[in-house]
Structure 1
Amino acid sequence: MKKIIISTIAVSSLFFTVTSCKTDFDNDVKDIPVTKGDADFSRYVSLGNSLTSGFRDNALYIDGQNESYPSMIAAQMRLAGGGDFKQPLMNDNLGGIPSANISNKKVLVVAGGALAPVDAPGVGTTTLANIYNAGPYQNMGVPGAKVAHLLAPNYGDPAGLNPAAPTANPYFVRFASSKTTSVVADALAQNPTFVSLWIGNNDVLGYATTGGDGTNPITPVDGPIGVGFTSTYNALVGSLFPSGTTRKGIVANIPDVTSIPFFTRVPYNPIPPEKFNTAPAGSASNQNANIDALNAQVFGPLKQVLTALGQGNRLQLLSKTAGNPVLLKDESLANLGVQITAALVGAGVPAPQAGLMGQLFGQARHSTSQDLIPLTTSTVLGTTPASPFAVAPFDKYGTTYPLEDKHVLRGKFNNVNGEVEEVLAATVSFNAAIKAAATAKDLAFVDMNTKMKELDSKAGIVWDGVKYSATFVTGGAFSLDGVHLTGRGYGIVANEFIKTINAKYRSTLPQVDPNKYSGVTFP
């Protein structure tokens, strides 16, 4: 596996940065007597997806669950009459479920003098055995769940775990009250007095993390319940807060997933000139010779042909001094393979090679700053694809062999919107529906989209002198998967929920101290 290299010096300097004693969480009520205000916290239930469950480091495990944001909120609610808050804990701190092919959490190790995230060693002991008898559970965050899944019956039926066409979720299988129940039904069976709901992220995130390749489409904004986001979300909120209920609650919108480390860690031009060095170890470097040869024999002739076809900006000549952009296949482009082949043959390129170049580069282009390279793509850059067309020198992913759609979230190119713009548009529409539902039911509404953008800003977020940002690993807020938060990051989320609850229901729940929770664990 290709390692993600992180300077240990950068880690120590950035992670422990102390900028000031300023705290970016106003309206704390720590010096005011704790009261419940207009709310009743005696039976608090939280619903959501992996963000609610405490998922981090690409897994659900005990230490992470114990630092979930709902468990932090519940601890503060107990100061104002709140009751017990149980979570369906995994069996260990590995997080893997072998019988469901769910891998262990990521951990940092030192490899070759640098830090690299790898799967934790060992075999997870958590199984799909149902643990409802030890419940019910008030943290009903289900990793992988979309809005429609919370309403779906049989979502906890082991028979529905068929990988080809799943209708159930392995995490909910563990703590569902029955095979036929739904997440919402189990929540309502507890007759909660207060409910938090943070759902909808996966309705767009799955599309983004798979590079928009079609295997996990964005949920349509419109459509009937179970199909369209708006109608399904309204049905979900209506079930939790029916007309005439005295139940109080809070809902959160979803963050812009294009600003999380999973999409910001790897730049659009991550390929250094030395990647084109094919000299054996210990021999003199020939990277410049390789770049000159590729420019002369491949990218130069291709760019000339494409320029004649009015598409010269698809490809760039390789640089000897700066990072090079990723080579990708853009299925939205007209396929010019036939024209490329004919032009190259006419220029004297042997027909077999011209045909191969037409096949590979008919819809190829270099990435631009508008494209997003997923964190997971770093593990395939420079590797050899399993393809009959992968022959020297066209045998390196992202350098001389175009990456498939799943490895890149394409942005705007030639003034034509790409997958990034689809994600952004869906997020805006989903968040409008969430805000409208909160207003219609007179619920507290927390703008987590704006808060997460603060983390992605240069200033970041400061708590008691410690700065948090969306920088991968060293920012302190995001875990090793680049999507989910650390305990400290979840503390930031908990405080945003608490502030909003206090403002809406006139309660005085104190905020938590994010600095007391765990961040990334270093070897």
Structure 2
Amino acid sequence: MKNIKYVLLSAILIGFTACNDEADFEDQLDNPTVEVVLPDLTAGEADFSNYIAVGASFSGGFTDNALFIAGQQNSFPNLLSQKFALVGGGDFTQPLMNDNIGGFVLGTQVVSNPRLFFNGSGPAVLPATPTTQITDVLTGNFNNYGIPGAKSYHLGVAGYGTLNPYFGRMASSAGATVLGDAVAQNPTFFTLSEIGGNDVLGYATSGGVGVDQTGNIDPSTYGSNDITDPNVFAASFSASVDALTANGAKGVVANLPYITSLAHFTTVPYNPVPLDAATAAALNQGYAAYNGGLQQAFAALDGTGLFTAEELAQRTISFSESANNALVIIDETLTDLGAINPAFAGIPQYRQATADDLFVLPLSSLIPQGYGTQIPLEDKWALIPSEQLALQTATDAYNATIEAIAASKGLALVDFKGILQEASTTGIQSGNFILTTDLVTGGLISLDGVHLTSRGYALMANEMMKAIDTTYGTNFEASGNLIDAGEYPTNYPATLQ
């Protein structure tokens, strides 16, 4: 571990510096072993006797687009509980799925797909049938309230189990709330993590087809792909923290990364289309009428400022004999020429993508079928810059709330945003590994492009322990009790079922 290496290096250097003559130096060489004594693990000001995790899919251990036993066992809350058990922590019970297949069935009908696995060329759906009935309800008290799909304001919704089967299978009653059930366990320590992630995720994965609800404080009017108003988030997050700390519990919270730095949005390039000369010429012929219509509109509107030469160039479609032709997208922010002059009503809002555009992962399988060339891409496939800005603005507002409340309550804070930013640029060191956000090969992000691998969740647990050390005086890191993330898998074989 890093701290041990530093201790060894320091001890050796001190020994060399203290040598007064050649004999002393030879003695050091003859006895190179330095015994390192680490301090005992201490709980500091924290009481881990009853640890409760509240959150969404990350807390649940969701990975490879599903919840399943192995992923749940490697969830960061379960990994944390094993370390907490070394210093007074109690049992940690999770609402385990029935199998390692993932997904749900209703009777014999599959209503939620199995997990993904790597088939040698890319992610694929596991060819197996789930065994977890969506209507099954588990009994007992639970410690992990990581509910996949939960948005910030869902935590206090009575009867949320009827809307979300992951909570429905563990809810204490038909009318229970996630927060109410969690608080009823009387936690002495808690994690409240990635709350707010789902408040922007649906908008992002749908290519921005939802609505940015900033300014609308009535979440009952929101669609599933909408961005939550920051004031709604602030009220929900504050209520959650107030409830969890009411009996004096301490805890750790995490801020939110920019979701667009995840592999789901960075894997498909804007210019992935290889074309030979003949195919490029055929495509150009197919767009000739469109380009001609643009030229006519520009000639009629030139000088009015309503349709500029810059926009004309931006909207003109052109393919070439090249390995890197840009995709064609429909961009509704472009000038609606038909609204200016009905004679131009038939000219669509096409343009070719640039490096500023992002594309959702499922598009990758459709590009060979002509999507983005013969078939211009609908809004649902792309996040254009204005949509990315909406996501970033909301995330910044959520993080301001998280950080302010953490400071006011004296809670430990993990900079998950910074961690993901580092991973998506230079990579982040974890033991002997450099983890990145690259799909399949990066080690951090699972096959769905959004959720973490088990190795990634181990890294997350370590970052939480470091924050707990700083805030509450524990010494997980100094005592050598951080997790070796390299011992945890980056994906699971198809044979694991």
**Range into which the TM-score falls when normalised by the shorter chain:** 0.7 to 0.9
Larger-Rg structure = 2
Of the three residues 78, 84, 88, the one matched with 1:71 is 78
Residue 104 (structure 1) shift: 0.7
Task: Return closer, same or farther for 1:95/1:177 CA change in 2, 3 Å cut-off.
Answer: same
Query: In 2, distance between residues paired with 1:480 and 1:156?
Result: 27
Equivalent residue, structure 2, for 1:241:
245
1:123 corresponds to 2:114? no
Of 29-38 and 441-450, deviating more is 29-38
Residue aligned with 2:161, SS: coil
| 1:511 partner amino acid | L
Equivalent residues in 2 for 1:198-347 (5 A)? 198=193, 199-214=195-210, 215=223, 216-222=225-231, 228-242=232-246, 245-273=247-275, 286-291=278-283, 293-294=285-286, 297-298=288-289, 300-302=291-293, 304-305=295-296, 308=299, 309-310=307-308, 311-312=311-312, 313-337=314-338, 342=343
Q: 2-side partners of 1:408 and 1:43: how far apart? A: 44
Deviation of 1:403 after TM superposition, in Å, equals 1.5
Identity, % of aligned pairs? 40
Q: Deviations over 1:164-221 (max 9, x none)?
A: xxxx201001111111111111111111100100111001111111111125110011
Query: What displacement does 1:495 show?
Result: 0.6
SS state at 1:175 partner: coil
After TM superposition, the structure 1 = structure 2 runs for residues 18-37 of structure 1, keeping only pairs within 5 Å, are 31-37=38-44
**Cα-to-partner distance string for 1:397-430 (whole Å, 9 max, x where unaligned):** 321332211111111xxxxxx1000001111000
Moved more, 442-451 or 332-341: 332-341
Q: Which residue of 1 aligns with 2:482?
A: 511
Letter in 2 for 1:197: L
**CA 1:400–1:432 in structure 2 vs 1: closer, same or farther (change >3 Å)?**
same
Structure 1 position 145 matched with structure 2 position 147:
no
Contact 1:306 1:314 in 2 (8 A): no
- Aligned counterpart, 2:181: 186
Question: Equivalents in 1 of 2:412, 2:178: separation in Å?
Answer: 21
Counterpart of 2:483 in structure 1: which amino acid?
A: V
- How many matched pairs? 435
CA distance in 1, matches of 2:298, 2:340: 12
Q: Please list every run of at least 4 consecutive aligned residues from structure 1 whose deviation after the TM superposition is greater than 6 angstroms.
A: 21-27, 338-341
What is the alpha-carbon distance in structure 2 between the residues aligned to residue 471 and residue 287 of structure 1? 31
CA distance in 2, matches of 1:188, 1:517: 31
CA distance in 2, matches of 1:79, 1:209: 40
Q: Aligned runs of 1:459-478 on 2, under 5 Å?
A: 460-478=427-445
Within the alignment, does 1:422 sit opposite 2:390 as a pair? yes
Counterpart pick for 1:397 among 357, 360, 371? 371
Give the Cα separation in 1 of the matches to 2:64 and 2:171. Answer: 24
SS of residue in 1 equivalent to 2:119: strand
CA distance in structure 1 between the partners assigned to 2:392 and 2:419 by the alignment: 16
Shift of 1:461: 1.4
Unpaired runs of 5+ residues, structure 2, are 8-35, 211-222, 300-306
Distance in 2, matches of 1:24 and 1:337, equals 69
Matched, 1:492 2:459: yes
Shift of 1:254: 0.9
Q: Cα offset for 1:300?
A: 4.5
Q: 1:432 to 1:84 in 2, by over 3 A?
A: same
Question: So what's the TM-score if we normalise by structure 1?
Answer: 0.78
Verify the 8 A CA contact 1:22 1:463 in the aligned structure 2.
no
Q: Which amino acid in 1 is paired with 2:170?
A: F
Is the 2:281–2:319 Cα contact (8 Å) retained in structure 1?
Answer: no
**In structure 2, how many angstroms separate the alpha carbons of the residues matched to 1:303 and 1:316?**
10
Deviation string, structure 1 residues 297-346 (Cα, Å, up to 9, x no partner): 34653553465442211234112114122211122222224779947xxx
Match of 1:346 in 2: none
CA apart distance, 1:106: 0.8
1:113-136 CA-to-partner distances (Å, cap 9, x unmatched) read: xx1211101110001244432x31
Match of 2:425 among 415, 435, 457: 457
Q: Is the 8 A contact 1:151 1:182 kept in 2?
A: yes
Q: 1:293 to 1:103 in 2, by over 3 A?
A: same
Contact 2:281-2:320 at 8 Å conserved across structures? no
1:46 touches 1:138 (CA, 8 Å); kept in 2?
yes
Superposition deviation, residue 287 in structure 1 = 2.3
Q: What amino acid is the match of 1:512?
A: I
What is the aligned partner in structure 2 of residue 103 from structure 1? 113
1:397, 1:403 within 8 Å by CA — same for their partners in 2? yes
Preserved CA contact (<8 Å) 2:52 2:191 = yes
CA-CA distance at 1:489 after TM superposition: 0.6
Q: Cα–Cα, structure 1 residues 469 and 314, in superposed 2: closer, same or farther, change >3 Å? A: same
Amino acid in structure 2 at the alignment position of 1:74: S
SS of the equivalent of 1:287 reads helix
- Per the alignment, residue 436 of structure 1 pairs with 404
Alignment RMSD: 2.5
Q: Give the counterpart letter for 1:464 in structure 2.
A: G
CA distance 1:508–1:306, change in 2 (3 Å): farther
Corresponding letter in the other structure for 1:287: T
Distance 1:290 1:468 in 2: 43
Whole-angstrom CA distance in 2 between matches of 1:286 and 1:319: 9
In the aligned structure 2, how far is the partner of 1:25 from the partner of 1:271?
A: 48
Could you tell me how far apart the structure 1 residues matched to 2:52 and 2:145 are? 7
Determine the structure 1 residue equivalent to 2:304: none
The alpha-carbon deviation at position 381 of structure 1 amounts to: 2.9
Does structure 1 conserve the Cα–Cα contact (< 8 Å) formed by 2:149 and 2:198?
A: yes
- Pairwise CA distance, 1:24: 13
Mark the CA change 1:24 to 1:105 in structure 2 (over 3 Å): closer, same or farther: farther
In 1, Cα distance between equivalents of 2:339 and 2:198? 39
- Cα drift, residue 464 of structure 1: 2.7
In structure 2, what is the Cα distance between the partners aligned to 1:43 and 1:397?
A: 52
CA distance in 1, matches of 2:381, 2:405: 35
Q: Distance in 2 between matches of 1:484 and 1:84?
A: 26
1:132 partner SS: coil
Structure 1 spans left out of the alignment, 5+ residues: 1-20, 158-167, 223-227, 275-284, 344-357, 384-395, 412-417
SS in 1 for 2:142: coil
- 1:232 Cα deviation (Å)? 1.6
Flag the 1:466–1:334 CA change in 2: closer, same or farther, 3 A: same
The AA in structure 2 aligned to 1:180 is G
Give distance in 1, aligned partners of 2:377 and 2:68: 33
Q: Which letter does structure 1 place at the counterpart of 2:124?
A: V
